[in-house]
Amino acid sequence: MYRVKEGIIGCAIGDALGTITKNQRRDDLLEHPVLKMTPCLKKGLPKGAWGDSTSLLIATTYAITKKGIDYDYIAENCVSWFTSNKFCSVKQSFDIGKTTLKSLVRFTQRQLPAYECGESSIYDNGNSALKMMLPLAYYFTANKVTKENAYEIIKKTCSITHRHEIAICACYIYVNYVMFILNGNNKYAAIKKLKKIDFSMFTNQTLKYFSRILVGNIYELDIDEIKSTSYVVDTLETVLWCFIKSENFKDCIIATTNIGDDTAAIGALAGAIAGIYYGTNNAPKDWLENVRGKEYLTNISEKFERFLRLLNYNELQ
């Protein structure tokens, strides 16, 4: 019903392939594209290992499944990821961002609520908060909360690691776009609907950063106009560009894997949407067989799916 498994497995596949090519030059990758899962020699990782993008996603998913929307518990699970290697594909966490680390360390000091621990400078607009957003899109789809509550939940979840309005707006856009996809809209209709929702809670200055998504047609841009950095605006643009221009799951993941720079995060975020939209059953056998922890991810997905069905059932009573 909610295609949770497809989204989470899609995220892990995109993350695993993107981990191999992360921080490589786009020109080199386009000339010699990576199409198969291989060990990541630079990091000493085995074939199919996924990193922080999927770990933060499943830490958040696990937390919501257990306690609903509880910001401190979400943060506790994120902390256990990098301190206890929980929610990892291998026996170690890796690729934690500096802003995320600072924010979670601040939370461990227990001086502030989790949603006040995120860094708030304009220079602290990396993409890590986006990695926690997919479970919220599922949650809102199952539980028809008001728009005001949805915004507040997105804002507070994002603010666990990133409190600047640019990061919050990026998360708001991502969640709403995924919700439109979950509700059966095609990828172009979802963009049209996205442009019509209420953004009055954001300043005009912030919205200007997202004009290529909310005013223009991001998918009409040439690849040379797309920046695939870890800056949250660049990441969001690249995710939507790769997904909308793709014709199937495989093409989307190949695009994200070989776009250069922060390919792991972009692959994870776009892979989640592509998994929901296209499904993952027709993904290359090499990818499906070698992505690590598939049974673990499936188990978490099934438990979350049951939680969502119960939410929906209780709402209908």
Q: What are φ and ψ of residue 263, in 5° steps?
A: -70, -25
pLDDT surpasses 90 at 309: yes
Average pLDDT (237-262) is 98
- pLDDT score, position 311: 85
Average pLDDT (259-282) is 97
**Residue 231 forms beta bridges with which residues?**
126
A 10 A CB-CB count for 191 gives: 19
Helix (H), strand (E), coil (C) string for 146-195: CHHHHHHHHHHHHCCCECCHHHHHHHHHHHHHHHHHHCCCCHHHHHHHHC
Pairwise CA distance, residues 147 & 156, whole Å: 14
Per-residue pLDDT band for 313 (boundaries 50, 70, 90) equals low
Pairwise CA distance, residues 163 & 158, whole Å: 7
Q: What whole-number percentage of the chain has pLDDT above 90? A: 89
pLDDT tens-digit series, residues 141-179 = 998 776 668 999 999 999 999 999 999 999 999 999 999
Amino acid at position 272, single letter: A
Per-residue pLDDT band for 1 (boundaries 50, 70, 90) equals confident
Domain span at 144: 4-316
**Contact between 304 and 35 (Cβ < 8 Å):** no
* CA-only gyration radius of the chain, Å: 18
pTM reported for the whole predicted model? 0.96
Task: Give the total number of structural domains in the chain.
Answer: 1
A 10 A CB-CB count for 183 gives: 10
**Contact between 52 and 97 (Cβ < 8 Å):** yes
More confident site: 4 or 281: 4
Average pLDDT (33-62) is 95
Q: How far is CA 139 from CA 61, 92, 133, 171, 309, in A?
A: 10, 29, 10, 14, 10
User: Distance from first CA to last CA of the chain, Å, rounded?
Assistant: 19
pLDDT tens-digit series, residues 121-147 = 999 999 999 999 999 999 999 987 766
Pairwise CA distance, residues 142 & 133, whole Å: 15
Average pLDDT (75-82) is 95
- pLDDT score, position 22: 97
229: tokens are 């950095």
pLDDT surpasses 70 at 317: no
pLDDT tens-digit series, residues 269-279 = 999 999 999 99
pLDDT tens-digit series, residues 186-242 = 999 999 999 999 999 999 999 999 999 999 999 999 999 999 999 999 999 999 999
Q: How far is CA 82 from CA 59, 73, 75, 96, 128, in A?
A: 11, 15, 11, 8, 14
Pairwise CA distance, residues 287 & 278, whole Å: 15
Q: Return the CATH number at 294.
A: 1.10.4080.10
Looking at every residue in the chain, the average pLDDT score rounds to 95
Q: Where are the beta strands (DSSP E) in the chain?
A: none
Per-residue pLDDT band for 41 (boundaries 50, 70, 90) equals confident
